[in-house]
Amino acid sequence: MGASTAGIWRVESGGTVYAVKRIAAPAADDPADFSRPAHFAWWRRPADVALSGAVDRTPGLRSVAAYRVDEDVEGVTIWHPLVTDAGSSGLFRAAALGGFAAAELPSAPWLARGQLRERMARVEHRGGWRLLARTTVADVADRIWTRREHLLGVLDGLPQVPQHGDPTPENLLGRDGGAVLAIDWSTLGTGPVGADLGYLALSAREEFQPLLDAYVAALPDGLAGREQAELGAQVAAVLTVMSRAEWALARVADRPGALAGKFRHPSVAPYLRSMQRQFPQIEALL
């Protein structure tokens, strides 16, 4: 759940099952980012998306229309018909993300922009990849970290397209004909072509290249070439997976014992395995 999410419930009413999400308005001591509409952490974006209907009919990827949105001084409660898991493959989801690149989103101030750059700024504020510097990938991590501004600049130069922002299999659940019904639109916005694919690649069962094939095949003609989509996906995947590995290591680093002895910790190992899966993408950026 996002930082502003107070809770999610399954509610049955009138014979229909709903997913009910409560979003809390920022408190005085909450980060200022929660109150910046273009920031990925903007607190009420799920309500803005639901009220606008911006992604109710989009190609490739869409939302189920909200049943109701209740607002009060303490926050917002959003009711959506429950979306069940259709068991789609990663290839189907990748194609849906490619199709979504053709969507026409409203010119709204609450669309997230520069999401990966903002996330990397948070990592830098916490000291960078200082724990990866104590692992066997230290030299690689240092090279990628020192080139991060260049890589982010490369993303800025790619075609900018509609972006779900958090396209994990858990958020790309249902089907509506040839489209995926997605949930959790709290980071909806625009970003470089391929970035959503890079995020998906971190949790999909399929390997990167088949996912890229499916994504590129579904892109609208003339929007971007395969090399551009591949580069956007690689940069997004690598910067994200290495930042997640750093975060996981930071959770256990202060406990007794050598850092290397914690690589198999259940709260660390999945993130390190995910990073290992992306070694071909890491090598491509070196």
Q: Are 24 and 2 in contact (CB under 8 A)?
A: no
The per-residue pLDDT for 257 is 87
Domains, in order of start, for the chain: 5-81 (3.30.200), 90-285 (3.90.1200.10)
Ramachandran quadrant class, 160 (left: phi over 0; alpha: psi -120 to 50; beta: rest): beta
The angle at the Cα of 2, spanning 53 to 42, to the nearest 5 degrees, equals 60
In tens, the pLDDT along 130-149 reads 999 999 999 999 999 999 99
The SS3 call for residue 108 is coil
The per-residue pLDDT for 39 is 96
H or E element that contains 245: helix 226-252
pTM of the model as a whole: 0.94
Q: Distance (Å, rounded) from C-alpha 67 to C-alpha 132?
A: 45
Read off the pLDDT of each residue in 173-181 and give the average, rounded to a whole number: 94
* Better-predicted residue by pLDDT, 261 or 99: 99
Does position 276 have pLDDT exceeding 90, yes or no? yes
With cut-offs at 50, 70 and 90, classify the pLDDT of residue 1: low
Please, what is the average pLDDT of the chain? 95
